[in-house]
Structure 1
Amino acid sequence: MTDTAIRPAARTESRAAHRDPNVLRWLGAYAASMVGDNVYYLALSWAAVRSGSPAEAGIVVSVSALPRAVLMLGGGVVADRFGPRRVVIGSDTVRCAAVLAVAALLYVAHPGLWPLAALALLFGTVDAVFVPAVGALPARITGPDQLARVQGMRGLANRFASVVGAPLGGLGIAMGGAAAAFGVAGLLIAVSVPLLVSVRMRGLPPAEETGTPGGTGLPGEGASGAAAGEAVAAATLPPAAPVLPGEAVSAVVAVPPAEAHPAGPRTPAAPDAPETAPAPRPADVWHDLRDGLAYLRRHRVLGPLVLAIALGDLGFVGPLNIGLTLLADRRGWGASGMGWVLAGFGVGAGAVSMLLAVRGRLPRAGLITGYACMAGAVAIGALGQVSALPAAVGVALLIGLLAGLSGVLCGALLQTQGDPAYLGRVTSVASLVSLGLAPLSMPFAAAATGAWGPGPVYAVSAVVCALGGAVVLVFPALRRAELPR
């Protein structure tokens, strides 16, 4: 079997994403929704702290993690079955209505913690379908040659949301308390809905239309390929957390078998096609999920790619979230010093996103991803050893550059290597690890830092991140993967 897992850089005639009104409408909707999310998390934290004890507030803020983790894989099935735009529009509509309802309730009464807990639970449930749909949407609004640029633009939107969201939420709280902040969050999320309605979708190429749930997803196979499907494994952190290396996927998966996935170059989809759901099939969610997991396991690029993303996130989340707080306290940098370190990271990650948004692609994407992961791991280990604040800011800037580069390229490879009909399920696996499993490392990182200090913890995290880079370099198909021209 010919190994065509590395998609050749076929030329297309897609309009440059940063000049495409359709992509810009999507970007505006995404940015408004992310700023609204940042304001929402700040308002939720503030309202919970004001309404209960610190322990109760912690439970309220974290309650959304459970439904998000439990339902994430099913959310990928929903995104692929009904189309990512429909799912994102529905999700934002539900989130907007829920946030505005709680804002109104807090304005007229003081109901305590129960509406906040209910809102957080609902947000986590909706996130389980929203996150996979957001990951699957870019491949349906522009050509494969523009997906790297779109990932850079998405990274810039995330940076913008982080910078603007917290001050905007604080202003809302200062002017009218949590009710006003929730109102601001709801209105920002509402802005995304009409913009998303105006986004035009590309139809799936014929080979991918047959690769919908019910087949193996291999081009040229339809529902008759279902017998080959075997079940295998197929990020929103609070706004204060820095972007994860695999944020653009926004995973743990079995190493793919030796058989190549015959994923040749896709036929460019016809632009401006109406979004259509897959052809009617039996409503067997478990079958669809197994089909998507089997597709991911068989793919020679996506399988090791999501494994690399998982290792990067597992090694990154602890030291760059709770670990950074403890490091700043041990070094005597204080809250302002920690803010400078986070700013250095944000500047580095933003610069890489800008580079990809302007340039559009980088050659030898797989190889660069692997080296960036390895170098970024060294920088993470070094951050745990420095004691001077200026040096820490410089190292954080380097981490932002390297982690941002590997994260954007991972997201672009995920988009271009995966068939759009399966991207919801593929994204759900990566998101499950990034948003469901990786945060579980934070309590262990905190406990280990208290027992042994930050140096050993950052060193272990660096080793885990380096393993992610090693996966990229060890698997030939992923190492040689290219982005379309």
Structure 2
Amino acid sequence: MTTTTGAPAPVALPRPYLFWLAGVQAGLLGDAALYFALGWAASAHGGGAAGLVLTAITVPRTALVLLGGAVADRFGARRVMLVGDTVMLVATGALALVAADRGTPLWLLVAAAAVIGTVDAFHLPASGSMPRRLVPADRLPRALALRQAGGQSAVLLGAPLGGLLVAAGGLSGAALADAASFGVVLLVLLRVRPREEEGPSGPREGLLREAASGVRLALADPLLRAALLLTGAAAGALLPVVSLLGPLLARAHGWAAGTAGLVSAGQAAGVLAVAGLVVRRGGLPRAGVGAAAGLCAASAGTALLALAGEPAVAVAGSTVAGLGSGLFACHLGPLVLTGAPHSHLSRVQALLTLVQSLALVLANALLGLLADAAGATLPTLLCALATATAGLTALATPALRRA
């Protein structure tokens, strides 16, 4: 007779989820490459044009995302994703053809960006709800951690891949690669069917009313309300640190671009390390406490980054911030998905996306102005303070502390 010691091996994630996630990963990598190519092409028209292209993505995504969540809950997340991926397959194919024939005029870049932003508004809430539709609740932390790791990997690899594609075939080459990735996603979606594919039965209201009901539900539920507020605080205080303030700090110290890239890589490595650990071992028993602890750890890393006088210290600070960010994301995501009723899964995900987007846009603008007026160190320290305050507030919030 043999005996085993130690903790039992975690139960494997469902095959349909892993199959779906592989398709999602292909799509994310193609999207990241195309975003780089669009930004590169827009930069040839000047800074104002580059900002216009980014705005053309952000505005429809933000304006329509609540409606997109209501559509996914009514008609089914899988159906919405199938339609969205089909539209993007056609759009990226058309972009490749037009770019090959006419180059990269500004109107083409803005039109492509507007299509991307509009499709994202419907696709993101549907995609965000799929883990809950494919994975039992007890395995959600590991499932979402694996998705987090995949998304972070796509961000890291997307820009270099986009650079290679642009060098080889210009914007047309990157668009063709993204079209191929959407073809992969479509093939995967045709094979994967969630347990509850149809939208809810019963009397239906108008889509705008249904979108508003998702907001009311989230605001009335103590756990969802606290989680959304915490998400907004984290998006505003954490996300700008590496993307906006890190490069400004590097320039203030006279460091080279390669050093700034190492700071960004440290943050990504921290997120990936935590996501990998959660995939292997599972999340903490109290997810709310884990999310709060993640914010507190990220605060310490951000403060270290702000006060760093040497590149090695800055990289260490960004890595600690990444570890905290990963701990936060891997524990808050399952709370939101399991806290939302099945009838409102996509609408709650849409509200989560909206909160993150609005907080990030506002924070980037304010922190950028403050950095111009007082240097990058002060806004980075303020981000550390805001993150610590959010983490401590979460620990003091019963709905989160007991979750």
TM-score (norm 1): 0.78
**1:311–1:111: structure 2 CA closer, same or farther, 3 Å change rule?**
closer
**Identical residues among aligned pairs (%):** 32
In the other structure, the counterpart of 2:144 is: 151
Moved more, 468-477 or 171-180: 468-477
Q: CA deviation at 1:280?
A: 4.9
- 8 Å Cα contact 2:34/2:175 also seen in 1: yes
Q: Mark the runs of 5 or more structure 2 residues left unpaired by the alignment.
A: 1-8
In the other structure, the counterpart of 2:114 is: 121
Task: Write out per-residue CA displacement over residues 120-162 of structure 1, whole angstroms, 9 at most, x where no aligned residue.
Answer: 0111111111111111111001111111011111011112212
**1:373–1:111: structure 2 CA closer, same or farther, 3 Å change rule?**
closer
Distance in 2, Cα, partners of 1:99 & 1:86 = 20
Task: Summarize the alignment of residues 3-18 of structure 1 with structure 2, pairs less than 5 Å apart.
Answer: 18=12
In the other structure, the counterpart of 1:457 is: 379
1:334 and 2:262 aligned: no
Task: Summarize the alignment of residues 72-91 of structure 1 with structure 2, pairs less than 5 Å apart.
Answer: 72-91=65-84
**1:114–1:391: structure 2 CA closer, same or farther, 3 Å change rule?**
same
Distance in 2, Cα, partners of 1:97 & 1:337 = 40
**1:188–1:320: structure 2 CA closer, same or farther, 3 Å change rule?**
same
Distance in 2, Cα, partners of 1:437 & 1:67 = 16
Q: 2:64 aligns with which of 68, 71, 76?
A: 71
Q: 2:314 aligns with which of 370, 375, 392?
A: 392
In the other structure, the counterpart of 1:470 is: 392
Q: CA deviation at 1:167?
A: 1.9
Distance in 1, Cα, partners of 2:257 & 2:72 = 40
Distance in 2, Cα, partners of 1:154 & 1:88 = 17
1:365 and 2:287 aligned: yes
Q: 2:326 aligns with which of 374, 398, 404?
A: 404
Q: 1:382 aligns with which of 304, 307, 315?
A: 304
Higher helix share: 2
Distance in 2, Cα, partners of 1:44 & 1:16 = 42
In the other structure, the counterpart of 1:41 is: 35
In the other structure, the counterpart of 2:370 is: 448
In the other structure, the counterpart of 1:105 is: 98
- 8 Å Cα contact 1:92/1:192 also seen in 2: yes
Q: CA deviation at 1:181?
A: 1.3
In the other structure, the counterpart of 2:184 is: 191
Q: Mark the runs of 5 or more structure 1 residues left unpaired by the alignment.
A: 1-14, 204-274
Q: CA deviation at 1:53?
A: 2.6
Q: 2:238 aligns with which of 307, 316, 322?
A: 316
Task: Write out per-residue CA displacement over residues 327-382 of structure 1, whole angstroms, 9 at most, x where no aligned residue.
Answer: 11011222100111111111110011111111123212211221221231232122
Q: 2:52 aligns with which of 59, 73, 92?
A: 59
In the other structure, the counterpart of 1:168 is: 161
**1:96–1:437: structure 2 CA closer, same or farther, 3 Å change rule?**
farther
**1:448–1:17: structure 2 CA closer, same or farther, 3 Å change rule?**
farther
AA at the equivalent of 2:78: R
- 8 Å Cα contact 1:17/1:149 also seen in 2: no
Distance in 1, Cα, partners of 2:386 & 2:189 = 38
- 8 Å Cα contact 1:172/1:180 also seen in 2: yes
CA RMSD of superposed structures (Å): 1.7
Other structure's SS at 1:432 match: helix
1:281 and 2:275 aligned: no
Task: Summarize the alignment of residues 208-247 of structure 1 with structure 2, pairs less than 5 Å apart.
Answer: none
**1:17–1:294: structure 2 CA closer, same or farther, 3 Å change rule?**
farther
Q: CA deviation at 1:321?
A: 1.4
AA at the equivalent of 1:113: L
Distance in 2, Cα, partners of 1:160 & 1:192 = 18
AA at the equivalent of 2:316: G
Q: CA deviation at 1:310?
A: 0.6
**1:53–1:17: structure 2 CA closer, same or farther, 3 Å change rule?**
farther
In the other structure, the counterpart of 1:479 is: 401
AA at the equivalent of 2:399: A
- 8 Å Cα contact 1:319/1:445 also seen in 2: no
AA at the equivalent of 2:209: H
**How many residue pairs end up in the alignment?**
395
Other structure's SS at 1:137 match: helix
- 8 Å Cα contact 1:369/1:410 also seen in 2: yes
In the other structure, the counterpart of 1:28 is: 22
Distance in 1, Cα, partners of 2:69 & 2:303 = 34
Task: Write out per-residue CA displacement over residues 226-257 of structure 1, whole angstroms, 9 at most, x where no aligned residue.
Answer: xxxxxxxxxxxxxxxxxxxxxxxxxxxxxxxx
- 8 Å Cα contact 1:318/1:439 also seen in 2: no
1:177 and 2:170 aligned: yes
**1:452–1:84: structure 2 CA closer, same or farther, 3 Å change rule?**
same
Distance in 1, Cα, partners of 2:249 & 2:46 = 26
AA at the equivalent of 1:35: L
Point out 4+ residue stretches in structure 1 off by more than 4 angstroms: 15-19
Q: 1:419 aligns with which of 341, 345, 358?
A: 341
Task: Write out per-residue CA displacement over residues 168-215 of structure 1, whole angstroms, 9 at most, x where no aligned residue.
Answer: 211111111111111112211221111122112113xxxxxxxxxxxx
In the other structure, the counterpart of 2:4 is: none
In the other structure, the counterpart of 2:133 is: 140
Distance in 2, Cα, partners of 1:430 & 1:285 = 18
Distance in 2, Cα, partners of 1:460 & 1:111 = 41
Other structure's SS at 1:321 match: helix
TM-score (norm 2): 0.94
In the other structure, the counterpart of 2:3 is: none
Distance in 1, Cα, partners of 2:68 & 2:223 = 23
